Structure formats: C-alpha cells, structure tokens
C-alpha cells in the first residue's frame, strides 16, 4: 500500500520515535515534520509507535484514513 503521513503539530511532543523508526520519512524540529516517503508498513509502524498519537496515515490514492 502507498500511505501518506500527516503530523498534527498541536499533538506532537517531539519524542522522536517516528524519526528513529523511519528517518527517511520524519525529522524532528520543534515537532515532527514529514520529509519523505517509505513503504506503507513502515509509515504505519512509526505512526503506531508515536506516544502522542500525532501521526495520521492516509491512503495516498483514495485519501481514506488508515490510522488512527
């Protein structure tokens, strides 16, 4: 699947779990920033690992929300 990550900046606490799991997708500045792409499963795993639940994942083709 081709997924897209979206960061809720107001929820992000910049823990860095997403960047540690998928540095090609996420960078931590004041909050997480999406900087690239990766296989859908990696994006989904990083979103699930976020302790703030600040990452929303959508299907890149349909726009359907996959997570949370």
Confidence (pLDDT) at 5: 98
Domain count, the chain: 1
Residue 67 lies in a domain: no
pLDDT score of 1: 85
Please provide the DSSP assignment of the chain as one string. Answer: --EEEEE-TTT-----HHHHH-TTTEEESSSEEE-----HHHHHHHHHH-TT--EEEEETTT--EEE-
Range of the domain at 51: 3-62
Which residue do the tokens 């900046």 mark?
Answer: 9
pLDDT tens digit sequence for 26-62 = 999 999 999 999 999 999 999 999 999 999 999 999 9
Give the strand pairing for 3-7 and 32-34: unpaired
CATH number of the structural domain spanning residue 44: 3.30.70.20
């Amino acid at each position: 699947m081709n997924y897209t990550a979206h960061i809720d900046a107001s929820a992000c606490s910049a823990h860095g779990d997403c960047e540690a799991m998928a540095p090609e997708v996420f960078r931590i500045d004041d909050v997480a920033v999406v900087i690239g792409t990766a296989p859908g499963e990696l994006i989904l795993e990083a979103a699930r690992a976020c302790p703030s639940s600040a990452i929303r994942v959508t299907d890149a083709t349909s726009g359907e929300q996959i997570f949370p």
